[in-house]
Amino acid sequence: MTLRRLALSEESAKADRDYSPSMARSVVAVDPPSTIGSGTLNTGQSGNINITTRELSSAGGLIIADTVRNALSGNLVINADTVNLTGGALISSSSDVGTQGGNITLNVTDTLSVVGRRSGNYTNSQNRVFEDNQTAIVTITAGNAQAGNIAINATTLFMDKGGTISTSTIGSGNAGNLEIIAQDLYLLGEPTLITSSSGAFLGDVFFEGQGQGGNLFVSANQMTLADGGTISANSFGTGNAGDITVSSNLINLTNDGKITTEAKNAAGGNITITTPNLLYLRGGQITTSVGTGKGSGGDITISQPMFVVLDKGQIKAQADEGRGGDIHITSNQFLASPDSLVSASSRLGIDGDVEIDAPEVNMEDFVVVLPGGFVDVSLKRCDIQELENPSSFRVTHPQRVPPFVRIK
């Protein structure tokens, strides 16, 4: 179905409190922004939005639950086999003044895809202009109450070309928490983000938040962050950055893929990573940092992987005037190339501690020097007929399996 606007309440209107399309075969929203929405402009409660469908596809469309002033925001729940968001599509919940924002929950049995940006401008109901906005799933608060939480459960989460999942605050209230559970998670391309932030752009204007950044919890069987794909918790105001907790069997950070917390003027958040198998940083980064001031850098804890491999990788906990964060790594094997870096430092304060609990491995012990010289051509050639149980060696065209599939 394609809708312009549905269930908009004003001045405490209570009609159309809940909107629930019941098990549609497919829901399609297209640009210029078709909207499934619920909102209220003064007091009362905005309606909830519940969508159950086999396929939800939105190319620049909007699914929103907004409140202005003292109203309560509704919750937004989507149950689907597949969800495909492109072209600046938005799923959002926002709150104003003193009421907590509504929560967003997505249960996707197959693939949730969040890809790309809008081409051109979009003006919302508060006349804020969004230029080339990212395709996004967002909760935000502009008041003194907490933004809504985001919970996503999907078999595959695929994000590329600027796709964003975000909770943020631009007021004194705290950003919401964000929880993602997936079998396979791909964040590809810059600036593709899973993030929680104190301070954010609203339209083309940046606001510094005073509230705390929200916490991020990400669990997957395997995750790939590549080409600038980032999981982050940030603070651009006076509130502390949130913490990040990641659990996955395999974690691959490639070509500037990052897991990071950053605070401009406050304390940096902590990063905790648990993986039983492999943590691989090939040009990737795990960092906590504080830009200015006396806030302490966040700690980085990496627990129990079979292998930690750094190939031009960086693990850093940095502060400015405060104490640098601590780094604790426990692994069966820790391998790092000479151009990799593990550092806990403070520019003016006390450096943090670096503790790596892993067996020492001298890679030179595994280097075998092959004999030089040339083969004597006079030697008798191998005659397979003389062998009782001959083996064979064949050279065939390589069959390369890509590490992930890009959606174009």
3-state secondary structure the chain: CCCCCCCECCCCCCCCCEECCCCEEEEEEECCCCEEEEEECCCCECCEEEEEEEEEEEEECEEEEEECCCCECCCEEEEEEEEEEECCCEEEEEECCCCCCCCEEEEEEEEEEEECECCCEEECCCCCEEECCECEEEEEECCCCCCCCEEEEEEEEEEECCCEEEEEECCCCCCCCEEEEEEEEEEECCCCEEEEEECEEECCEEECCCCCCCCEEEEEEEEEEECCCEEEEEECCCCCCCCEEEEEEEEEEECCCEEEEEECCCCCCCEEEECCCEEEEEECEEEEEECCCCCCCCCEEEECCCEEEEECCEEEEEECCCCCCCEEEECCEEEECCCCEEEEEECCCCCCCEEEECCCCCHHHHCCCCCCCCCCCCCCCCCHHHCCCCCCCCCCCCCCCCCCCCCC
Q: Which residues of the chain have pLDDT under 50?
A: 1-19, 22, 399-408
Torsion angle defined by CA atoms of residues 201, 202, 206 and 208, in that order, rounded to the nearest 10 degrees: -90
Q: State the Cα–Cα distance between residues 205 and 144, nearest whole angstrom.
A: 19
Q: Which amino acid, residue 156?
A: T
pLDDT in tens, 211-259: 788 899 999 999 999 999 999 998 887 778 899 999 999 999 999 999 9
Q: State the Cα–Cα distance between residues 184 and 128, nearest whole angstrom.
A: 36
Q: Which amino acid, residue 136?
A: A
Structure tokens at 159: 């994000």
CA neighbor of 199 nearest in space, from 163, 222, 167, 245: 167
Distances (CA, A) of 32 to 58, 123, 200, 328, 343: 11, 11, 25, 50, 49
Report yes or no: 348 and 319 within 8 Å, Cβ to Cβ.
Answer: no
* pTM for this predicted structure: 0.81
Structure tokens at 309: 């491999």
Which residues sit opposite 317 in a β-bridge? 288, 344
CA neighbor of 191 nearest in space, from 240, 232, 142: 232
Give the per-residue pLDDT at 9.
28
Q: State the Cα–Cα distance between residues 231 and 274, nearest whole angstrom.
A: 15
Q: Tell how far CA 90 is from the center of its chain.
A: 16
In angstroms and rounded to an integer, the radius of gyration of the C-alpha atoms of the chain is 25
Give the per-residue pLDDT at 375.
61
Pairing of strands 205-207, 200-202: antiparallel
Give the per-residue pLDDT at 36.
85
Give the per-residue pLDDT at 353.
92
Report yes or no: 68 and 40 within 8 Å, Cβ to Cβ.
Answer: yes
Structure tokens at 185: 């998670």
